[in-house]
A and B are shown apart, each in its own frame.
Chain A
């Protein structure tokens, strides 16, 4: 049974389609692996029946000779930020504990329509706010990885840490993630898997609990570039219910995958050589350049002069949007209601939100409320949005000289859970390399490059032009083929 859990999206899909095994066998195998991995705390709820029902439907279609869909027979994990009809959806918060949507998010619906099934709802940082998966109301997520010879629980990254943990631990072949300021790429890098955030607008945001609307993008997390390409196609596409959804055809990225980068130019942004970046990370970056040269690409230096300001700008824009997006959690229509004796409406709001939100969420709501408040709006929010324009212009200029940009995904490898909790700022710095592409809405991917001297994975990031996921995926594939990353965490759970 267990060998199924070593399979990825493409292998499962092709195996089911080819009759090598049934979707039900695969689903049962992953359901069992999920059930046995409670120590990872990757799932908030498991939905084995959903996975089985989807598998049975695929098997039945195969028996009738019908089309199985591009994800036919693949059971996946669903980040608990996507509304799933009839299945509790919490955004890892207390305020939404017990909330059962009467609707299905566009992205999850597309995945089910493509033949995928759901293993469960994956844990995450509360409202996707965090970089270590320690802000969930439902407890920290453990990375399946540990430092060599150590027992300390490691962070799977965040906010899509349940997703990264599950995929790296091989209890799910793939999972959905969302990326607001690195929440797909950073956890992917921390756990030695792939993850791509597409161009802003590729995946519908309808039915995804909003964090920062102008930044949020869904994307796939899986163990190979091919699997990401397949799953992204299933997730992407125009949605009339999302006014920011791109009205463009979805390319067949899988079919056009090519690791041959002859004639391509890869930009190396000099500003990403920041103080405090881990030596081994820099080494992996150098190695990445070599691999891409080997794949036929020309390496060119580019400049992204406002890189330094991207992160602080992000920490104004994202909390500002979040402070407004999270105003709807007020105890009136759904979710938690805390009604102290004799409380009026406004007291009920304050009590409910005090009780229902975790510290990091409160922090960001307060920052966001402050930067939007009278007298501060221009100095903070408007200035940050102007810097965002400058960051985007930096990329646009850089892309006049190159087809894609190569950079580290994170400044460090994963860290032990609890080690960065003292100061929110140190935690924020995790996303220093990931945030610029988010601010500019660009497609960006992390692929595993190597393990460091502690035995922990390191990722490389590729950033592409708007709508050019193909170049990102192709560059990722070139790295994947040369990196030959086949390290897997040793099972301890």
Chain B
């Protein structure tokens, strides 16, 4: 796999990407006030006097927000700073009631760490790659402006004002849109494993500021642009494509890239300069005098560490190693919290029902969970009630299959009925006759008849035409209306044909 390059008139260009991801911290109350954080409330109903920056209001930090940032830092094996501070970032905007954002510039709570993006041939990522994390700091979210509700006014909703964000700043270590996409997906996965952010990009729980520059391979970093608030993986990749090509064009036509803030237009897939450019921002950061230094105790850090779950990389390694799953299955099953949670539940229920170790049944369960079950669900469409897809029911089906009571086809048929009706799989198998016949007497009788009716083919087979074995199997299954246990059929045929 060759590296991602932009072909310019003057040769190849390399793109250099760094991401600042703003992730909403999962918490009940806001970072500095007791107002709720729930999404979608009526305007200004989740706003305290503190969030509205009334005169004399003061911030008091929420322990849970600090805790989640620390746990996130631990999940990327970052340095946790036992001493950190909050700083004020000063600027004027209608969505920023205080006239400053409380953030952390000089002493962030989390220092350097790293995240590994996984090899993905299809996406052009040849091998696993470590992306450096510069820092994670905690800060306040801003409110929301609505521009289309009134002819001459914008409306301000402060519900989000003061909600806790983690800003996760990567190093400029990514070199292609695919790597950036993989980084955001992996980061999202880790955050969701840790439970520090719900990762819901549509609701704005994760937004990325995309820093892009281009250079000739091996040369110094070029001037970068920052495209703000990009809220999907696809858009992040589009921004990079667009910006990289735009910058190459600018540079090759003799121009220079301005270090500037840009906005992404999802409609056109392009970026443009933010209008408020003349206001070269001077944020006048200084330590927030309303907030004393934050010092974390060892007991607090210990609790944070102890509460961390098994993380995606470790889980994936365990699936491959202990459970013997293929690398593909292991990756698919560990990508999302919901996927592995469903899989692990099903695996444990199925192993118990079958009476074998989890490792022994893992491959069967993984195949079922990744391809069979979703296939049935998909084919039914609206007819399926996902609530019927219980681990209990699926494990019953897997157990019947494991014992040879039902065939793969029957398993699917039974699952269809389960999804539509919620009936018990064993009851379905009995009532609907969806069971394999393992009764050797019935099968022997059928086979005897087939051998008697096809003496020519028996001769040929015995004469060395092995391929004909399939013919006898097919005939037997047909005679048994497809319900014979294939293993039993094979055995008896072998015995009788000699």
A residues lining the B interface (CB < 8 Å): 82-83, 89, 91, 96, 99, 101-103, 105, 205-210, 212-214, 240-244, 320-321, 323-324, 326-328, 330, 332-334, 345-346, 349, 369, 372-374, 377, 381
Closest residue on chain B to residue A242 by CB atoms = B58
Instruction: For the A-B complex with A101-B54, A242-B58, A345-B154 known, give 20 more contacts whose Cβ atoms are closer than 8 Å.
Output: A82-B56, A99-B55, A205-B56, A206-B57, A207-B56, A209-B56, A210-B290, A213-B290, A243-B290, A321-B289, A324-B99, A324-B100, A327-B99, A327-B100, A330-B92, A332-B94, A333-B97, A372-B90, A374-B284, A377-B285
Q: Is the CB of A243 within 8 A of B60?
A: yes
At the interface, is chain A mostly helix, strand, loop or mixed?
A: loop
**Complex Cα gap A208–B54 (Å):** 10
Are A374 and B60 in contact, with the CB atoms below 8 A? Answer: no
Within the assembled complex, what's the spacing in Å between the Cα atoms of A395 and B109?
32
Write out the residue numbers on chain A whose beta carbons fall within 8 Å of the beta carbon of B59.
243
| Whole-angstrom CA separation of A321 from B100 in the bound complex | 12
Q: Are B289 and A212 in contact (CB under 8 A)?
A: yes
Task: State whether B284 touches A372 (Cβ < 8 A).
Answer: yes
A324 to B97 Cα, complex, angstroms: 12
In B275-295, which residues have CB < 8 Å from any A CB?
279, 282, 284-286, 288-292
- Which residues of chain B are near A373, meaning CB under 8 Å? 282, 284
Contact B290 A244 (CB under 8 A): yes
What are the residues of chain A within 8 A of B52 when measuring CB–CB?
A: 333
* Proximity string of chain B (412-428) to chain A, C-beta cutoff 8 Å, 1 when within and 0 when not: 00000000000000000
Contact mask B62-104 → A, CB, 8 Å, 1/0?
A: 0000000000000000000000000010101110011110000
A103 and B54 contact, CB distance less than 8 A: yes
B317 at the interface (CB under 8 A from A): no
The count of chain B contact residues (Cβ–Cβ below 8 Å) is 32
Q: Does B53 contact A (CB under 8 A)?
A: yes
Residues of A within 8 A of B291 (CB): 243-244
| Cα of A33 to Cα of B154 in the assembled complex, Å | 49
B49 within 8 A of A: yes
A397 to B250, CA, bound (A): 63
Closest Cβ of chain A: how far from B22's Cβ, in Å? 22
Majority secondary structure of chain B interface residues (helix, strand, loop or mixed): loop
Which residues of chain B come closer than 8 Å to A381, judged between CB atoms?
286
* Complex: A212 Cα to B289 Cα, angstroms: 8
Closest to A96 in B: B55
> Please, could you name 5 A-B residue pairs with CB atoms under 8 Å apart, sorted by A?
A240-B60, A243-B291, A324-B284, A332-B156, A333-B53
Complexed CA–CA distance, A477 and B90 (Å)? 45
A493 to B289, CA, bound (A): 42
Asked whether any CB of chain A lies closer than 8 Å to the CB of B61, the reply is yes
Measured between beta carbons, the chain A residues less than 8 angstroms from B279 are: 346
Q: Which of B52, B55, B60, B94 has the most CB of A within 10 A?
A: B55
B60 to A, closest residue via Cβ = A243
Given contacts A101-B55, A209-B56, A244-B292, contact A328 B94 (CB under 8 A): no
CA distance A206 to B88 in the complex (A): 19
Whether B55 contacts A83 by the Cβ 8 Å rule is yes
Considering the complex, give the chain B residue whose CB is closest to the CB of A103: B49
A78 to B88, CA, bound (A): 30
Of A83, A326, A327, the contact of B56 (CB 8 Å cutoff): A83
Interface residues of B in 96-119 (CB under 8 A from A): 97-100
By the criterion CB–CB under 8 Å, are A206 and B58 in contact? yes
Contact call A206/B290, Cβ cutoff below 8 A: no
Chain A nearest CB, measured from B162 CB (Å): 13
Known: A207-B56, A332-B156. A324 touches B61 (CB 8 A): no
Q: How far is the CB of B25 from chain A (nearest CB, A)?
A: 18
